[in-house]
Structure 1
Amino acid sequence: MDTAPAPFRPPAPTPRTSPPSMLEMIRIIYRNPLELWGEPSYNQPWILVNGVGGPLIVANDPGLIRHVLIDNVKNYKLATVRQKVLRPILRDGLLTAEGEVWRRSRKAMAPVFTPRHIFGFAAPMLRRAELFAERYDDVDGVVDIAQDMTLLTFDILAETLFSNEIAAEPGSFGHEIERLFETMGRVDPLDILRAPDWLPRFTHIRGRRTMAFFRKIVSDTADMRIARMRKTPDDVPEDFLTLLLRAEGKDGLTRQEVEDNIITFIGAGHETTARALGWTIYCLAEAPWEREPIEAEIDAVLKAEPDPVKWLDRMPLTRAAFEEAMRLYPPAPSINREPIEPETYKTLKIPRGAQVLVMPWVVHRHRKLWDDPNAFLPSRFHPGNREKIDRFQYLPFGAGPRVCIGASFAMQEAVIALAVLMSRFRFDPVAATKPWPVQKLTTQPQGGLPMRVTRR
């Protein structure tokens, strides 16, 4: 008799069965855009509606997604509303820059994220994860895994890309990044209505102090490294920070662009991995039948293979759980584009200036693309199954020329962190573990992820 338990279905908004009023839609978009999507969004290849700010297309069909992000990418720019949210924070960082500025930045950063460099980060990733895990040795109770993963990924980022020379304390950083996303990381109602830029945004006013805090961190971090490069030019780490600063100059990046990219990686770069790690640990805690074989896999690999470079390939079950958590809770839940010229895809007419939304949140839960889409089933990503997934139905890191430059970095970091934590500890839900996914810049667990930590 088959006694396999029913799969765990983690919390998510129930699809709407009727469209919201305009006032309600603005309120939902500000509070939590994940609650906006209705039944058609999870069943149709695309949706075309007349939104508040003009035509709106929700693209779910993998062929249409490929068309927008790759085949006809030259006809698409970053969407206006998206830029109004992100540019005040990141300015000309890699996520928000366009045209020649984006090309210069991408070229300057590419050497850091080659396979050789990524493999070289494995040992410091392991070292930071092991040091971080020590804090649980004396824990006898509940911790907030969401907050802890923010601190862990900050530690890893600081050591690998900045050689521990970020001018910020991890504790204050974690608090301020949460405040930043709570204020400036949300869509302002005036942006939805496409109000003129001279009208002040309430969200931006609330976030000015936090934004100044991050800009000071960035400026101080760059100044510290420049001083070191001048004082001891032969004793400077060849890390992300050094490469960016060396790219500054007449034919490279401006000082402002350097700082914008530093804040992009300190802020948004680590936050996505932190959220994905937290959701993975949560889903496994609620599905112990999925956790047990992963613990066995981790134990076997750590016993036989000390080199963390090889763990990603040697731990397919661990990797699959992380990928499935990113399917259910995509770190970046929306990809927004805007056509420069009108065009047609099959029977869909795409007018100039339309908002084209590729929503990983929706695509990853689409009923025509996935079996039992709301269930946590890591087996989807096991070897033999992973290869059957269309490249454009699973988009945790985006796709096309603007695919996340740090995807390989994040995957290696995640598997190493999970291996270290899960080899030593078990994380279990408590009565207060009732997260609700909320879209800000990332998919965040409202209420945190309080969990009980015990020694294995």
Structure 2
Amino acid sequence: MDTRPEPFEPPAPVPRTRIPSRLEIIRTVLRNPLELWGEPSYTLPWIETKFMNQRNLIVNDPGLIRYILVENAANYEMSKVRRLILRPILRDGLLTAEGEVWRRSRKAMAPVFTPRHAKGFAGQMLSVSEAFAERYEPAVSEPFVTNIAADMTELTFEILTETLFSGEIAVEKRGFAARTEELLQRMGRVDPMDMLTAPEWVPRLTRIGGRKVLSRFRGIVAATMAERRRRIAEQPEDVPNDFLTMLLQIEGPEGLSTSEIEDNILTFIGAGHETTARALAWCLYCVANTPAYREAMEREIDETMASGADSVDWLGRMPHVLAAFEEALRLYPPAPSINRAAIEEDEWTSPEGKRVPIRKGISVLIMPWTLHRHVLYWQKPRAFMPERFLPENREKINRFQYLPFGAGPRVCIGATFALQEAVIALAVLMHRFRFDLTDETHPWPVQRLTTQPKGGLPMRVSARLE
């Protein structure tokens, strides 16, 4: 008889059991798209639906996902709705560019984010995390409550600033989380005109207040680029050989245009750190609700620290820490949907011989949010069970049933960077401090550009080690 307690199930919308009206769908999408999906999205391998004269294919089958994202990726482009939401913010950044513009950007940036090169950032990630941990030092005298969601945004932004921009972004780092939150709240949500696929020139009332915020971000980018150009011209021997310098060195007809460089810098400054930040906050919350697993993480962290192992090796030496972060990515995927559209008619046949016709122009929704909670592919899919990602179990997980970083040609370029960053940050923070719940800790996941805890994530910080 299994006498172990049931694993913790963190908060998430319950699948709908009835078909909503058109008005309910619109209201739900505007409020929180995560609350829209019904039971079939969590139980069936694929579903075809229709809304506002737009046909949608919701895809959960790993084989079909592989076909769309890898085997026949050339037949699938970013869906129009996704472009209408993201392009006003990121324009031709790596996340939103298409065709030749995307290929040039990806090729230019790939060397910076190879696993080997990403390991070279470990020392900087460690020093920034240690400096950030000093802000929690008052907890040694008396525990205090802080918004972990905002704190993790600050931390990951400072890591990004130091590793990719040598600390030389033209903005005050403290308080940057609030600016990012405002940008995503105002610009990162679906507008009714997006659902109607109205042209870009039609005003989006929900985003009118976001134009000034976006303008400030673009001002930060312009000032950052101008200052680095000045240094390149006046002090070439003292210029950091970092991501920013690399982009400016390939500016021109054979590389990237000035506007493309600006768009990519904005993509990394505004969104590149945000996904890791959200997952870190959700991870600390879930771990606080799983004391036995937290103790296993702490033992692993303490042993690694005591051994004097180089931070570049922590990713491989802390499987429990990595597994907790990966499980947080499963339950709260920072990018909860991957939206494609079929360019031409297509068809896929399952190993069992079931045919799936894919109509030209159909919107294809591959949603990590439902895929990661799907009853066909996960045991106790709503539960926080990091052990499923420990080395002895990891190989049982199909590559295309777990998509926190996407897959195929457009897989997230910074996946290795993010995993290393997360393990180092968690190890530094959890070595010195405990993060516990408060009476006000009742997070609710909301989809904007990322999966955010509505209203923040207050947690109590106390000292672990003297």
- Using the size of structure 1 for normalisation, the TM-score is 0.98
Any idea what the Cα deviations from partners look like across 1:210-234, whole Å, max 9, x if unmatched?
A: 0001000000011111111111111
Q: What letter is aligned with 2:124? A: P
Are residues 1:127 and 2:143 paired?
no
Are residues 1:48 and 2:48 paired?
yes
Any idea what the Cα deviations from partners look like across 1:388-419, whole Å, max 9, x if unmatched?
A: 10000000000000000000000000000000
Any idea what the Cα deviations from partners look like across 1:261-282, whole Å, max 9, x if unmatched?
A: 0000011110000000000000
Displaced runs of 4 or more, over 3 A: none
Cα contact 1:53–1:192 (8 A) shared by 2? no
Are residues 1:426 and 2:429 paired?
no
Following superposition of structure 1 onto structure 2, how do residues 157-168 of structure 1 map, counting pairs within 5 Å? Answer: 157-168=160-171
Show the counterpart of 2:332.
329
Runs (5+) with no aligned partner, structure 2: 350-354
Classify the secondary structure of the residue corresponding to 1:384. Answer: helix
Instruction: Measure, in 1, the Cα distance between the counterparts of 2:457 and 2:238.
Output: 42
Show the counterpart of 2:201.
198
Q: What letter is aligned with 1:188? A: D
Give the drift of 1:305: 3.1
Give the drift of 1:53: 4.6
Classify the secondary structure of the residue corresponding to 1:138. Answer: helix
Are residues 1:353 and 2:361 paired?
yes
Show the counterpart of 1:236.
239
Cα contact 2:121–2:163 (8 A) shared by 1? yes
Cα contact 2:154–2:175 (8 A) shared by 1? no
Q: Give the paired residue count.
A: 456
Give the drift of 1:119: 1.5
Following superposition of structure 1 onto structure 2, how do residues 341-420 of structure 1 map, counting pairs within 5 Å? Answer: 341-346=344-349, 347-420=355-428
Following superposition of structure 1 onto structure 2, how do residues 81-120 of structure 1 map, counting pairs within 5 Å? Answer: 81-120=81-120
Are residues 1:156 and 2:166 paired?
no
Classify the secondary structure of the residue corresponding to 2:174. Answer: helix
Give the drift of 1:117: 2.1
Following superposition of structure 1 onto structure 2, how do residues 295-306 of structure 1 map, counting pairs within 5 Å? Answer: 295-306=298-309
Cα contact 2:70–2:409 (8 A) shared by 1? yes
Any idea what the Cα deviations from partners look like across 1:329-365, whole Å, max 9, x if unmatched?
A: 0011010000100111222221111110000000000
Instruction: Measure, in 1, the Cα distance between the counterparts of 2:344 and 2:312.
Output: 45
Any idea what the Cα deviations from partners look like across 1:12-60, whole Å, max 9, x if unmatched?
A: 0000001111111111111100000000000000010112251011100
Instruction: Measure, in 2, the Cα distance between the counterparts of 1:115 and 1:10.
Output: 32
Any idea what the Cα deviations from partners look like across 1:275-322, whole Å, max 9, x if unmatched?
A: 000000000001111101010000001111331000000000100000
Show the counterpart of 1:13.
13
Give the drift of 1:199: 1.8
Q: What letter is aligned with 1:163? A: S
Q: CA separation of 1:209/1:172 partners in 2, compared to 1, >3 Å: closer, same or farther?
A: farther
Q: What letter is aligned with 2:213? A: T
Instruction: Measure, in 1, the Cα distance between the counterparts of 2:424 and 2:281.
Output: 14
Q: CA separation of 1:53/1:156 partners in 2, compared to 1, >3 Å: closer, same or farther?
A: farther
Instruction: Measure, in 2, the Cα distance between the counterparts of 1:196 and 1:302.
Output: 55
Give the drift of 1:5: 2.3
Instruction: Measure, in 2, the Cα distance between the counterparts of 1:202 and 1:379.
Output: 45
Show the counterpart of 2:352.
none
Runs (5+) with no aligned partner, structure 1: none
Instruction: Measure, in 2, the Cα distance between the counterparts of 1:312 and 1:369.
Output: 26
Give the drift of 1:2: 5.6
Instruction: Measure, in 1, the Cα distance between the counterparts of 2:52 and 2:393.
Output: 41
Classify the secondary structure of the residue corresponding to 2:165. Answer: coil
Using the TM superposition, name which of 101-110 and 51-60 deviates more: 51-60
Q: What letter is aligned with 2:72? A: N
Alignment root-mean-square deviation, CA: 1.0
Show the counterpart of 2:456.
448
Instruction: Measure, in 2, the Cα distance between the counterparts of 1:2 and 1:365.
Output: 23
Cα contact 1:283–1:376 (8 A) shared by 2? yes
Any idea what the Cα deviations from partners look like across 1:190-218, whole Å, max 9, x if unmatched?
A: 11011233321112212101000100000
Q: What letter is aligned with 2:201? A: W
Percent identity of equivalent pairs: 62
Classify the secondary structure of the residue corresponding to 1:385. Answer: helix
Q: CA separation of 1:131/1:71 partners in 2, compared to 1, >3 Å: closer, same or farther?
A: same
Show the counterpart of 1:293.
296
Are residues 1:217 and 2:220 paired?
yes
Show the counterpart of 1:247.
250
Instruction: Measure, in 2, the Cα distance between the counterparts of 1:47 and 1:328.
Output: 22
